[in-house]
Amino acid sequence: MAANVHLVKNLAYDPLRDFEPITLLTGNPLVLVVRSDLPIKSVGELIAYAKARPGKMNYGVGNSGNKVAVGLLQSLTGISATEIPYKGASQAMLELVGGRLDFIISDPLVADQFIKQGAIRPLAVTAAVPLPSMRSLPTMAEAGVAGYTEITTFLALYAPRGTPKAIIHVLNDAFVKAINSKAGQDQYERMGLVTKTSTPQGLATFNKEQIAVWEHLAKVSGLQPE
């Protein structure tokens, strides 16, 4: 709903024109993880390891957020690794766990269970401040990647264009109450997600802002539409 505007040629939909916004659900920083069998325990060690093996490391991409996050890391640090595209973040994560990838910058929701199992090793988050569910991890900037701006993806609820406003407001009210309840907050925190609700108009404004944010991120990451 934001990044693809700048990363996909001839996008088949318009995020602002073709949907009726209902509410934001979450704002999600990403987490940088490596294979647990690699001798890498920090972002600095990953950078040094990659620079000693230019072009020999690989990483998985399951969505546009993953792609831009690694693109920015490579642009700022000068490392070079091979991108392996997948149909989704979960598929890419399974390939990392299976030892066929070296690292990923992915959604905490996808990575969390494998981190807890010790199958992969987390190094840092792409947030401006530590993630509540991963308080021990530094941000990318704290880990030494100067200039690494905050990268967060978001989940939001939309309806088809033309859905009556009365229905939109009923859905907004129901979802905002559920997400902001104690049960909702506890559930999202267990999944490693940060809740962030809005009015329908608030989501429309946020979506416009995010399209501009991701335009900037795509440019500084050196990425072109494909």
Over range 169-192, report the average pLDDT. Answer: 92
Q: Write out pLDDT tens, residues 41-59.
A: 999 999 999 999 999 999 9
pLDDT category, 167, cuts 50, 70, 90? very high
The answer on pLDDT for 191 being more than 80 is: no
Over range 8-25, report the average pLDDT. Answer: 96
Q: What is the pLDDT of residue 119?
A: 96
Handedness of CA 48, 220, 65, 108 (dihedral sign): positive
The answer on pLDDT for 16 being more than 80 is: yes
Give the Cα separation of 20 and 23 in Å (integer): 10
> Tokens 């040629």 appear where?
9
Longest CA–CA span in the chain (Å) reads 59
Per residue, what are the HEC states of 164-211? Answer: CHHHHHHHHHHHHHHHHCHHHHHHHHHCCCEECCCCHHHHHHHHHHHH
For residue 218, the tally of other CB atoms under 10 A from its CB is 21
Residues forming a β-bridge with 157: 23
Question: Which among 152, 157, 139, 158 is positioned nearest to 65, based on CA atoms?
Answer: 152
Q: What is the pLDDT of residue 101?
A: 98
